[in-house]
Structure 1
Amino acid sequence: MKTAYSHGGDIYKFNKDILDFSANINPLGMPEKAKKTIVDNISAYFTYPDYANRELCSALEKFYQVNSRKIVCGNGAADLIYRIVISQKPENALITAPTFSEYEEALSTFSCNIKYHYLREAEDFKLQEDFLDSMDEALNIIFLCSPNNPTGSVIEIDLLSQILEKAKKIGATVVLDQCFLHFIEEEKPYNAIPLLESFDNLIILQAATKIFAMAGLRLGYCFVGNELVADEIRTTLQPWSVSTVASKAGIAALEEADFISKSKAYIKTQRRFLSEKLASLGYKVFPSEANYILIKGSKALGEALRKKGLLIRYCENYKSLNSNFYRLAVKSERENKKLVDALEDLGPKFSEL
């Protein structure tokens, strides 16, 4: 059964002045070309969207070099997670802990048995080769996340290949969530798209939500190694899974060539600034390749910052984490300095466990 809302970005229950560090959205905002396209195409929103997302899939094919027959679009990546589970009907699944909660939510909704592989704090929650030992022949599906949410750790491509090889032997599908891939400074060594040619049991999740700051538009897509599986996922979708405005904006964003590289550079600088400042204030800071940072501090930190008008992501609902863990989005330079100033005002007692 679906539990209560457990994600970041729930700013609506607060006043307008809350500064939200709980949702991991690109601080550079939506690409200008996408904004202009939304307005310029306003007359196109009168008719129903293209149920087959032909123009969008063509743009994604060009950008990612994946055959459009292997691309399925949806109402955000979270929507596609549920669609994948519906289409594949797995009985036994393996996921890591901690990781994005919607994998567990989707699997539980459809009465799938879930096995957990616990990532270790002493290893900065980075996936290791012992994950292979957690894979058994009963598995039908595996969910992985790289960069992982909420840790920001990445999966080495050699290890991912080993996982895919073993999964293929036991007949399991691997769903790899790479929604934060484009925030990695050097993403090529971690980009799993080239593996689609070798592994038809691989599904890669991506989204415009994070990198293109389109959380409110809802646009996700997945790249599927097996065209028949892609067709199965499509059959679960409502006829109009992507709105015309989301499709038009997504296509325009993909055409803004320098936007991703500018975002990478900005995030790298601001992530380093935040990480160093947080560490100097006594917080335990875990290494991250994404646009967010996992830290450890006092159980009272979240409420103390909220009283100062800053919202951070409580992480106690992540399996294997507790109320000492928080996830902080990397935002603009001005906003990040405001967070640091607030933490300095609070003093050292809030960095203590």
Structure 2
Amino acid sequence: MVSKRVLSIKPSGIREIFEMASVGAINLGLGELDFEPPKEAREAYKEALDNDRNRYGPTKGIDPLRELVADKVRRYRSDITPANVVITASGTQGTMATFQTLFEHGDEVLIPEPGFVLYEPDSVLADARPVVYPLLDESGFQPDIEALKALITPRTKGLVVNSPSNPTGSVLNEESFRALKDLAVDHDLWVVSDEVYEDFIYSGKHRSFNEIIERSVVLNSFSKSFAVPGWRIGYLTAPLELVDHIAKMQYHLVACPPTPPQFALAKVFKVQEEFTRGLIPIFDRRRRSMVDRLNAIEGVRCHLPEGAFYAFPSYELDIPSRDLARNLVSSGVICAPGTAFGERGEKHLRFSYAASDEDIVNGLAIVRKVMEAGGLGPGN
């Protein structure tokens, strides 16, 4: 009845938990800011609607927004121009367009594990073979470079990188960043770098693969940095020889990115840095509160994440993470099972601290109670 293609990809393990949640459950599972967008952005969106910015736009996005993105990205590579920029209908769609452009049957794509839920299915949908490389808990989820080298074959075409990381909150250190860049150059690999959380770093600094734009596609989004996930607007940067091909794929996926939010974001683009800068102390406080509470639970261990807004604790209980997450949501708190991010996520859970201080305190009190009961939910 349906294609083998769609049967070959798995449903989201995160979505399953959300669909189980009852009204009133404490949400520590969603990667979405609990703040309104800047007032200026909301007003600019209304203005765009009133000025009839409701028609089709250019497939690559409007020039004013592409110019502003290029200005921002030039901090990493001075010769990037608006011609390197494609505005996308979300980071998710940009990821799909990139994989469809770069990869095909017979290619192998190296993807991090634990890693974001899109990388494996997008590889499969491009008819490529995803090959996972480990992020090591004991090293703060830095990539195991030697293990990664051993996975490279003549068929390896792509290397997917995500920093700051969803789900682990890790940020590539200088050693890992340099090693990954060298691998890409030495083995002639395309780097697909997901840098959606670049504005949410609490220690260290962001290192961008825009530095090697000649062999990289760098994915980004306005969803996190402007608190507008429902606007479905992202962007990517790529070498000039790829941009037209990505745009061709984008046309056949969505025709063009949504027009009103592009005009709104172009008008208020420079508000973003001040907006996210104001959020950093709040999220820093929340991450410390969450990690302290998680580490106070017997048998739970959690690194202090350096970026994004996720904690990814491990636990000792003899229960699969999917079952534990199901028991937790039945008890009134939503989180994501570690295996939603690959098999190396087993015996982990992902919690989001894009939640109020009160929800973090009350939600983790429920987590502690369930953990102390052996991971069992109500009625067990």
Calculate the TM-score normalised by the size of structure 2. Answer: 0.82
1:114 paired to 2:130 = yes
- For residues 159-203 of structure 1, what are the alpha-carbon distances to aligned partners after superposition, in whole Å with 9 as ceiling and x for unaligned? 32332233223321011111112111256x33315513xx51022
- For residues 84-109 of structure 1, what are the alpha-carbon distances to aligned partners after superposition, in whole Å with 9 as ceiling and x for unaligned? 12212341221222111211111111
Cα separation, 2, equivalents of 1:121 and 1:324 = 11
- For residues 263-297 of structure 1, what are the alpha-carbon distances to aligned partners after superposition, in whole Å with 9 as ceiling and x for unaligned? 22211111011100111123221331220101234
SS in 2 for 1:94: strand
The verdict on how the C-alpha distance between 1:350 and 1:268 changes in structure 2, with shifts beyond 3 A counting, is farther
Equivalence for 1:58: 67
- For residues 45-67 of structure 1, what are the alpha-carbon distances to aligned partners after superposition, in whole Å with 9 as ceiling and x for unaligned? 43223434122212212333341
Aligned partner letter, 2:174: I
Equivalence for 1:278: 294
SS in 2 for 1:200: helix
Equivalence for 1:292: 310
1:132 paired to 2:149 = yes
Cα separation, 2, equivalents of 1:322 and 1:142 = 20
Equivalence for 1:48: 56
What is the aligned-residue RMSD (CA, Å)? 2.6
1:68 to 82, 95, 98: 82
Calculate the TM-score normalised by the size of structure 1. Answer: 0.88
Residues 157 and 190, structure 1, Cα contact 8 Å, conserved in 2 = no
The verdict on how the C-alpha distance between 1:213 and 1:105 changes in structure 2, with shifts beyond 3 A counting, is same
Aligned partner letter, 2:31: N
Question: What is the aligned residue count?
Answer: 348
1:232 paired to 2:245 = yes
1:306 paired to 2:324 = no
The verdict on how the C-alpha distance between 1:349 and 1:267 changes in structure 2, with shifts beyond 3 A counting, is same
1:342 paired to 2:366 = yes
Residues 28 and 360, structure 2, Cα contact 8 Å, conserved in 1 = no
- For residues 198-223 of structure 1, what are the alpha-carbon distances to aligned partners after superposition, in whole Å with 9 as ceiling and x for unaligned? x5102211111223222222112112
1:126 Cα deviation (Å)?
A: 1.8
The verdict on how the C-alpha distance between 1:332 and 1:122 changes in structure 2, with shifts beyond 3 A counting, is same
Aligned partner letter, 1:340: L
1:143 Cα deviation (Å)?
A: 0.8
SS in 2 for 1:115: strand
Equivalence for 1:34: 41
1:243 Cα deviation (Å)?
A: 0.6
Give the % identical residues: 15
The verdict on how the C-alpha distance between 1:346 and 1:221 changes in structure 2, with shifts beyond 3 A counting, is same
2:119 to 74, 98, 103: 103
The verdict on how the C-alpha distance between 1:64 and 1:31 changes in structure 2, with shifts beyond 3 A counting, is farther
Residues 120 and 126, structure 1, Cα contact 8 Å, conserved in 2 = yes
SS in 1 for 2:313: strand
The verdict on how the C-alpha distance between 1:163 and 1:152 changes in structure 2, with shifts beyond 3 A counting, is same
Residues 231 and 261, structure 2, Cα contact 8 Å, conserved in 1 = yes
User: Structure 1 stretch 336-345 or stretch 177-186: which is displaced more?
Assistant: 336-345
SS in 1 for 2:95: helix
1:191 paired to 2:207 = yes
The verdict on how the C-alpha distance between 1:60 and 1:245 changes in structure 2, with shifts beyond 3 A counting, is same
